[in-house]
Structure 1
């Protein structure tokens, strides 16, 4: 009884992929075990995807594509399935983010997802309440790591972030995990398309006290703002409102430490661990 219920509650693209996979397998005259053997997966792994008990990974899709000689039919689902790994409220924004000329963020509680290590992201998502089921948690971690494709996209995207000192001192995942997160930040900050700044606690009154935000500039030069809290999100597109947030972000940057000072600050934090 649990499998139909799971299938009915699965995202639409996942359900469609499961149906196409089953039809292609049956057309080829293969059992789940036989297809799994061709793919170097177990029959139960194939069954889990066909019943929507588990979402297919990119590797699973590629293996099924080759084993069934699907002509790109299965592979074409990868981008849509990746999108469904994200929470529903975030799906619209992540598409815009991946196309943006520039992405700017101001972080007050946690490091921006684009700059998180997998270890940090997993610890952060594990703190959610009510807690995620383990397979859902891993799906969200994978989705967050997928966003990093933006760093190597051509044309190159410009990425800027301002992070509150308190956010950097919050040891999500423990001291060792945070040490690796610091190293990751410094590695990203060394890239020519990334600018990283710290808002020090000594700057007690600054323009960012109203909360976190993200700003993106699209290929047509349109600017958009995005904000979220407790699973709710808001995409701002009205030019006047976006303009206010752009000016506010400019002041936040001006009040934060300079990029070179911010790198030194993170190096200092590493030494304190």
Structure 2
């Protein structure tokens, strides 16, 4: 067990360790102490020390401040993309990279509202239901990472986002009435974006092509289709063209069996009115 006040040995990721080493080298080359660099960054010397020893992760704000203070020519800020990925669970990091570069993202969701369309409060409520329970700091980190993914909604070039959600997921009052009321409002606002198509699979449709489970179809910049599936923290990425093709066609059938977009918005507004 690590001594009180000391960072755990080898507990941080390779990317975090590499960033810490680069930061320490650049600071030393600039002839600055940790306190002096911290003063330039409007941080304490202890905060700089915590990042250099991997006791605490570097936030985006810290990275930006270090880049400016050290005049690093982009060397420090380049690390933010890789460190940001590590805020996600290990099994999800590869998918996030694919998602952020995708031409289109098409998801069928069964239990919860899709992460790209979640409000902060809804995401917090979902993560607070985790078992085993998560530490408060871990919940905050995961919520922050989930909110950062939403930049895809406004990305240039535009990413087309197609979401099919089971009505049961919409009816599950995660976080209570107030959280769900705001979530419904946000969903309808997202659904009216020109690059977002939101559909609901009604509970009245007892048999449909989505019964085998949720999936996400990614259209890559190379115009290939990849299919991501996840259950209980375990993920599968289907890349073989024949297998991905079957799942892509299945997703298309799910869309044909779901409510049309305008009907879906109407149902969400109805649910909001029932709260």
- TM-based fold match above 0.5: yes
Number of residue pairs matched?
273
How far apart, in 2, do the equivalents of 1:136 and 1:207 lie?
A: 36
- String of CA shifts for 1:49-85, please: whole Å, max 9, x gaps: 2222221111110111111222221111111111222
Query: Secondary structure at 2:218's aligned position in 1?
Result: strand
Query: Secondary structure at 1:216's aligned position in 2?
Result: strand
Counterpart of 1:114 in structure 2 is 116
Counterpart of 2:163 in structure 1 is 161
Structure 2 runs not aligned, ≥5 long: none
Counterpart of 1:129 in structure 2 is 131
User: Residue 70 of structure 2 is aligned with which of 68, 71, 76?
Assistant: 68
User: Residue 61 of structure 2 is aligned with which of 52, 59, 62?
Assistant: 59
Counterpart of 1:19 in structure 2 is 21
154-163 vs 127-136, greater mean Cα deviation: 127-136
How far apart, in 2, do the equivalents of 1:96 and 1:224 lie?
A: 9
Give, in angstroms, the shift of residue 2 of structure 1: 5.4
In the TM superposition, 1:233-272 aligns within 5 A as 233-272=235-274
1:80 maps to 2:68: no
Which structure has greater helix proportion? 1
TM-score (ref. length: structure 1): 0.94
How far apart, in 2, do the equivalents of 1:7 and 1:188 lie?
A: 44
User: Residue 43 of structure 1 is aligned with which of 42, 45, 54?
Assistant: 45
Counterpart of 1:182 in structure 2 is 184
Structure 1 runs not aligned, ≥5 long: none
Give, in angstroms, the shift of residue 191 of structure 1: 0.6
Give, in angstroms, the shift of residue 177 of structure 1: 1.3
- String of CA shifts for 1:178-210, please: whole Å, max 9, x gaps: 111111111111111100011111111111111
TM-score (ref. length: structure 2): 0.93
In the TM superposition, 1:91-110 aligns within 5 A as 91-110=93-112
How far apart, in 2, do the equivalents of 1:44 and 1:4 lie?
A: 13
RMSD value over aligned CA atoms? 1.6
